[in-house]
Amino acid sequence: MAKNLLKDVKKQREATAPKKLSEYSIIEIVEKICNPDRLEGEWIAKQDIVEDGTKLKLVEQEAVGECGTECRTIARACEEVIGDSDTDVAEALFRESTKRAQLSKLLCYELSGACKRKPPPVPKDRPAGEEFQPKDSKDLEVERLMQEMQGMGGMGGGMEMFKRDEMMKKMGMGAGDDDDEDDDEDEDFTSPMKEHFAEDDAKNGLKFDKKSAEDAKSAPKDAASGSTLADLTDSAKEVFDTASSKAKEALDSAVEVGKSAADALTKQAHQAAEVIGEKAGQVGEYISDWVSSLQGKKDEAKSAEL
């Protein structure tokens, strides 16, 4: 967790340079790091829990996997470690001088106490764990595209994501973002690590704006949308109409952003418009491919009935 937090903050800091990375951006990363359905939490979906004698260990895989029971268990453990201390974690990440060992100690011993005791041995009658299943590369690419578009002016917020297997069976409405809004104010903690950070701040004239971080915690979250597909034959047209409508909305939004960018006459705005238009076009192509595949399945089903 510490490794990925530092990596994500460094990447975001480089992307915003020469401007200073805001407290809001850092706390947003911390709030998403335990969610395997977000880019920041993809590291969780790469883990496989395996038995090593009387212990369990995490083995990182090359590919992002489907998030089943083991994945959700790791995500829950991650949430337990951070708990209500996300502001304190963000405060540590705000300092560019924070090292991985320091952040690990803060997370593991001082904020959660997760490493203060040894884990119990694995029961002899423990059922075998689920097999690691890599996620379909095309589904993963579409999910990442949608999240990128959500970060570009909120374009992806109202768009629905359909996986190919979801088009072949009934599904309930998708759950919203797992990020919980914290109502209670975090208590300030005293520890050797915080004293170290305070001394470091005094030397470098750096100050973490805790109020901005607290305001960021209560900011509205993006919600993931879901859809119910009643039946392959009866719903094919509905899926096609919905997909076409959403793709058109994305393209229209891209055109509007492009116009605004041209009026602004800034290089950054032009680049943003081109990227958004490209992503929207790719999503439209993927949706069209899926609908064509769905229509083919429908035709095959009709032929089989005859």
Name the residue range of residue 269's domain.
Answer: 137-173+229-306
Per the domain annotation, does 156 fall within a domain?
Answer: yes
Per the domain annotation, does 255 fall within a domain?
Answer: yes
Both 158 and 45 in one domain: the answer is no
Both 54 and 161 in one domain: the answer is no
Both 162 and 197 in one domain: the answer is no
Q: By the 8 A CB rule, do 159 and 285 touch?
A: no
**Residue pLDDT, tens place only, 192-202:** 666 666 666 66
* Burial profile 108-128: b = 16 or more Cβ within 10 angstroms, e = fewer: bebbbeeeeeeeeeeeeeeee
72: Cα within 13 Å, side-chain hemisphere? 5
Both 204 and 56 in one domain: the answer is yes
Q: What type of residue is 53?
A: G
Both 252 and 118 in one domain: the answer is no
Per the domain annotation, does 69 fall within a domain?
Answer: yes
d(CA 95, CA 197): 8
Residue 257: exposure state from Cβ atoms within 10 A (0-12, 13-18, ≥19): buried
- Best CA proximity match to 64, nearest among 37, 45, 49, 50: 45
d(CA 47, CA 133): 11
Both 22 and 156 in one domain: the answer is no
Both 123 and 253 in one domain: the answer is no
Both 110 and 206 in one domain: the answer is yes
Per the domain annotation, does 152 fall within a domain?
Answer: yes
Residue-level pLDDT at 52: 86
d(CA 297, CA 59): 38
**Residue pLDDT, tens place only, 161-183:** 444 455 445 444 444 444 444 44
Both 12 and 67 in one domain: the answer is yes
Both 296 and 163 in one domain: the answer is yes
Cis bond leading into 121, ω under 30°?
no
Per the domain annotation, does 179 fall within a domain?
Answer: no
Please tell me the pTM assigned to this model. Answer: 0.54
Tokens found for residue 10: 């460094």
Total number of domains in the chain: 2
Both 63 and 160 in one domain: the answer is no
Per the domain annotation, does 178 fall within a domain?
Answer: no
Per the domain annotation, does 223 fall within a domain?
Answer: no
Q: Which residues pair with 50 in a beta bridge?
A: 57
Counted residue by residue, the chain has a size of 306
Q: pLDDT under 70 in the chain at which residues? A: 150-244, 257-270, 272-273, 305-306
Both 143 and 107 in one domain: the answer is no
Residue-level pLDDT at 73: 93
Q: Which residues pair with 59 in a beta bridge?
A: 48
Per the domain annotation, does 181 fall within a domain?
Answer: no
Three-class SS of the chain: CHHHHHHHHHHHHHHHCCCCCCHHHHHHHHHHCCCCCCHHHHHHHCEEEEEECCEEEEEECCCCECCCHHHHHHHHHHHHHHCCCHHHHHHHHCCCCCCHHHHHHHHHHHHCCCCCCCCCCCCCCCCCCCCCCECCHHHHHHHHHHHHHHCCCCHHHHCCCCCCHHHHCCCCCCCCCCCCCCCCCCCCCCCHHHHHHHHHHHHHCCCCCHHHHHHHHCCCCCCCCCCCCCCHHHHHHHHHHHHHHHHHHHHHHHHHHHHHHHHHCCHHHHHHHHHHHHHHHHHHHHHHHHHHHHHHHHHHHHHHHC
